[in-house]
Structure formats: C-alpha cells, structure tokens
Amino acid sequence: MAQQKRVVVTGLGVVSPVGSTLDTFWAAIQAGQSGIGPITYFDASAFDTKFAGQVKGLNLDEFIPKKEQRRMDPFCHYGVAAAKMAVADSGLDMSKEDPTRVGVIAASGVGGLQILQNQMDVLRTRGPGRFSPFMIPQMISNILPGLISINHGMKGPNFAIVTACASGTHCIGEALNLIRRGAGDAFVCGGAEGAICELGVGGFNAMRALSTRNDSPQTASRPFDKDRDGFVMGEGAGMLIIEEYEHAKARGAKIYCELAGFGCTGDAYHITAPDESASGPSRGMMLAMQDAGVGPAEIDYINAHGTSTSLNDAGETKAIKIALGEADARRTAVSSTKSMTGHLLGAAGGVESVVCALAIRDSVLPPTINYTTPDPACDLDYVPNVARKAKVRACLNNSLGFGGHNATLCFKAL
C-alpha cells in the first residue's frame, strides 16, 4: 500500500470582527479582545438582539474593484478578500503552477441572505421587472469558490460544501482528502459568512438562539459559562492554503503546520438540537484522531465549537470526554474563540482553523473570555479569560451544524 500523502498549511487569510489582517486578528485573539458591539448595519431597536460581531479593519478596495463589489453579497466580499490574503501569505505563484492542479473548496452556511432581502424589497416596492440580473449568482453559496478560482486562474476541483455552521470545516477536510487522492497539489479552502441583516438576526431571534444581553454586548458571548444565554452572530471569512508536503517543499514555502486528519459524522437526531448522547461529535473527533494517527494523549488543545448556548456547550463537553477519555479530556486545554469573534456560522471552521495553525506556530493557547461562573455540566480546562503559553503538538477543531452535521479537523506540528 502506498504511503499516504502528507498535507501542510502554507497560507492563512482572515476577515473578522476582531481584525482583518492576520497580525491584527491574532494579536486581538491572544489579548482576549471582544469584537462584539451594537449593530450599525440597520436599525435593530425593534429586535430582541441589538448587537453582533461586525467585520472590522477591512478595506475592500484593496481586494476587489468597486464595480465588482456592487455585484457581490457581503459573504463574497469577505471570502474573496480572505482568499487573496491567504494566497499572498502562501507565496503561491499561479504562473508557475499547473492551474488544473490547484482547486478551491469554500462555502457559506447561509449564502447571499443580504442580497435576497434587498431584492425582496425591490420586488415589493418596484415590481418584478426591477430585479437585478445579478441576484441569482450573487446569492448562491457556490459562487464563492467560483469567484476565487476566476480571480486566481485555479482550474482544479471547485465546489462548495454547505453544512450550516460546519461548512468551512467540511470544505477544508474534503480538500485534504482530494490532495491525498492525487486530485490536486494545492487548494484554497474555508468558509465565509455575511448574514448580519434583518432576516438573519430576526430568524435566529425567532428560534431563541441568540443572546439578548443588550446591556453588555462584549460579555454576551460566554461559552461554557453557567450564565450563557445564547450565541452572538458574527461575520467574516477564514481561508487556508493547503498543499501536498513535497509540493510545498519544492517551491520553498513556509509551513505553519500539518493538516493531518479529518472526521465527519451525522447525528440523525434533530434539526437544531444536539443528540444528548454526544455520540456524533465524539465519533467525529475520534475519526479525526485516527485519520491523523494520533492518540488522545497527544492532543494538547481543542478549539471547541463552543457557541455559548446551553445545549451545545454541555453536549460538546460530554463529547470531548467520550472522545479523549476522562483523564486526557481533563488534561487538554479547550477554548472557544467565539467568545471574542461571535459565531461566524459557515465561516467559523475556516477562522478557527486559522487559530489552530497559529496556536501551533506560536505555542499559544487562546482564551475563552467572559468565563466567570463555572457550570457543573462544563467542567474542563477552558483556558479562562487569559491566553496561555504552551507547546501544541496536535490540536482538534470542532464544528457542529444545524441538521446534525459534525466535522473535526486535526492539525499537527510538523
């Protein structure tokens, strides 16, 4: 049997509520800074939740011409920008690559919700003859990898995997599998989201999924804390360049870490609630470790899905204990960077994979901020409030989506 190809991370790009360059983002995460504040995109006074994690520090003109900006939904603005950052960071020169060997797998969990909302307003106020001819291509989730491939001339496998809040993670995992299969040398992969609009906030409010801590937005996202009352919407994008190891070495690329394993499962339980047995996410973590060839004792950090909802955080804690075993679970650092960024929905897995790569590079465990009151159902080491220096040999990144979609990636130090 041929030895399995190794895959490494060579480029990172991020657009987020705490910063939209790699350096500003990572500095904010290490410092435990919240990116949550009042919604300014629309009048939220009538909504139960009046705050979110809006993108900060992004100059779109640096990445997309103004004419093209007008033909994109915000999720594409963020995804295209993050992809360009990641390509630049990786030093990947498409003029020296076989374009059929470079692919793009990227998605949004929600897609073009803002353009859909805007065009519904057009329909009601101006009639059906005034629809934008760009409406359909603007709103479909798969337009994102299409745009990225067009921008960079990447002609390899190109598609979107949409699994709600696990979308970005599934995209990265499938890119790993394609490289291993020999279907490409390098991929842009990750997720993007731009759903902070009336439809997005109102829809999640109707589900009673969002925090309503309107008097203190910066402390509203409090994963694993006893007083958590719902998640906080965020927006942005996280993109990775992953490559076959020998390909990366041959071109002299800098390497952040190895992308060593991927596991995905289904709950087959409920459209939004996690299975109380935690069998789905725990099995996903075990499959990722098995795929990576690492045992629970080698996992030093887990970037948890950690949404700040009652059911998710308790269920994920249980899943970690099942996957790693009680002793190793208690030894392992677990944190949720959603405490700072909010929940970026389909972009979460991409952004949090960026965190994992940087945690390995810099030997830093990011904190879970706003952790003040322990919950008996959440009793692991959540790296409370302050980042911690520690060597990270291997880490897991969990993403769990509505519909019972579970995905876990395993990153390793090279």
User: Measured between alpha carbons, how far is residue 89 from residues 86, 188, 273 in Å?
Assistant: 5, 12, 38
The single residue listed with the structure tokens 């997309």 is 64
How far is Cα 67 from Cα 28, in angstroms, rounded to an integer? 32
Contacts of residue 70, defined as CB under 8 A and 6 or more positions apart, other chains included, come to none
The single residue listed with the structure tokens 């060597």 is 391
Catalytic residue among 76, 77, 165, 247: 165
How far is Cα 54 from Cα 38, in angstroms, rounded to an integer? 9
Catalytic residue among 77, 343, 378, 405: 343
Which structure tokens are listed for 109? Answer: 């969990």
**Which of 36, 39, 40, 41 lies closest to 53 in space, CA to CA?**
36
Burial class (CB in 10 A: 0-12, 13-18, 19+), 263: buried
The single residue listed with the structure tokens 């389909």 is 346
Ramachandran angles phi, psi of 272, nearest 5°: -130, -30
Which structure tokens are listed for 356? Answer: 């994992």
Catalytic residue among 152, 170, 247, 305: 305
Catalytic annotation on 305?
yes
**Which of 32, 89, 14, 39 lies closest to 385 in space, CA to CA?**
32
The Cα angle at residue 359 between residues 389 and 234, in degrees rounded to 5? 115
How far is Cα 65 from Cα 85, in angstroms, rounded to an integer? 16
User: Measured between alpha carbons, how far is residue 175 from residues 171, 288, 345, 365, 371 in Å?
Assistant: 6, 14, 20, 26, 35
Catalytic annotation on 343?
yes
**Which of 244, 323, 315 lies closest to 288 in space, CA to CA?**
323
How far is Cα 193 from Cα 73, in angstroms, rounded to an integer? 10
Give the residue numbers marked as catalytic.
165, 305, 343
